[in-house]
């Protein structure tokens, strides 16, 4: 049985969203997005940094949302959400899947820290401005790639549960400019998917 260790409004939403899209059975360990749960001994035993998501599959424990995505698709159910290795869409699928944590989430993290997490007197406007500019630059190729497409590689895929979630977070932080019309409508399309709505609503 799969168990997802989850906190609302975190990257764990992308894993729950994937499980819902695939219709896989799972158990949810719903924690608060708070050190009392995330930094508890029980959770640190699952993830050395006390972060989410963490997936347990019987005696296997796995962290890193991208790795968890690949594990679920490869070991449990592909559900058409990952192109075959020899399919023409495969290279773009891989690129966008990894672009999420590689390029988009680092500035998102900094923005969250300097707008929401730090007390006001410790927030740094220069650091925040740099991260906002970096995020806008990182989002531009996604907006370009979505021209004439509903999803990143055409059909909906697990690249959308990863990078799409990062795009949704960016938009909620007010960092997707109106000029990025492809990205704006992509975010709206993703937010309308029932599996996303379900994952996004848990614990809120
Ligand atoms: N690269 C990791 C990042 C995990 C991560 O930083 N998760 C955040 C939630 S979005 C977290 O647990 N933060 C709690 C903390 O920093 O204490 C992944 O993709 O799973």
pLDDT digits (tens, 9 = 90+) for 106-123: 999 999 999 999 999 999
pLDDT for 170 equals 98
Strands (E), 22-176: 27-30, 54-57, 60-63
Q: What pLDDT was estimated at residue 204? A: 85
Domains of the chain: 2-80+197-201 (3.40.30.10), 90-193 (1.20.1050.10)
pLDDT at 157: 98
Q: 96 alpha carbon to ligand 1 midpoint, in Å?
A: 19
Contacts of range 134-141, beta carbons closer than 8 Å, 24 or more positions apart: 134/106, 134/107, 135/104, 135/107, 135/108, 135/111, 135/170, 135/175, 136/175, 136/177, 138/99, 138/103, 138/104, 138/107, 139/104, 139/167, 139/170, 139/175, 139/176, 139/180, 139/183, 140/180
Which residue, 146, 144, 174, is CA-closest to 159?
Answer: 146
Q: Which among 36, 5, 22 has a CA at the least distance from the CA of 203? A: 5
Cα–Cα dist 44/88, whole Å: 41
In this structure, the residue with its CA closest to atom 17 of ligand 1 is 51
- The finding on whether 13 has its CB within 6 A of some atom of ligand 1 is no
In the numeric block, the tokens 């749960």 are attached to 37
Structure tokens at 102: 């590689």
pLDDT at 179: 98
5-7-8 Cα angle (round to 5): 140
For the Cβ of 132 lying below 6 angstroms from any atom of ligand 1, the answer is no
In short, whether 161's Cβ falls inside 6 Å of ligand 1 is no
Q: Would you state the pLDDT for residue 133? A: 97
Instruction: Give every residue of the chain whose pLDDT is below 70, as ranges.
Output: none
Question: Would you state the pLDDT for residue 1?
Answer: 92
Q: Is 15 in the pocket of ligand 1 (CB under 6 A)?
A: no
């Amino acid at each position: 049985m799969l168990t997802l260790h989850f906190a609302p409004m975190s990257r764990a939403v992308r894993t729950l969203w994937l499980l819902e899209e695939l219709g896989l059975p799972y158990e949810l360990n719903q924690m608060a997005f708070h050190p009392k749960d995330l930094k508890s001994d029980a959770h640190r035993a699952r993830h050395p940094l006390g972060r989410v998501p963490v997936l347990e599959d019987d005696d296997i424990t796995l962290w890193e949302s991208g790795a968890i995505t690949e594990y679920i698709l490869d070991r449990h159910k592909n559900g058409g959400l990952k192109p075959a290795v020899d399919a023409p869409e495969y290279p773009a699928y891989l690129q966008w899947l990894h672009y999420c944590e590689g390029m988009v989430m680092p500035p998102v993290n900094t923005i969250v820290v300097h707008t929401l997490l730090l007390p006001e007197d410790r927030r740094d406007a220069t650091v925040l401005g740099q991260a906002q500019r970096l995020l806008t630059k990182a989002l531009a190729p996604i907006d370009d790639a979505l021209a004439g497409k509903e999803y990143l590689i055409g059909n909906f895929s697990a690249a959308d549960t990863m990078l799409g979630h990062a795009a949704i977070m960016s938009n909620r932080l007010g960092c997707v400019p109106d000029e990025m019309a492809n990205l704006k409508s992509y975010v709206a399309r993703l937010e309308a998917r029932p599996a996303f709505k379900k994952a996004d609503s848990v614990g809120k």
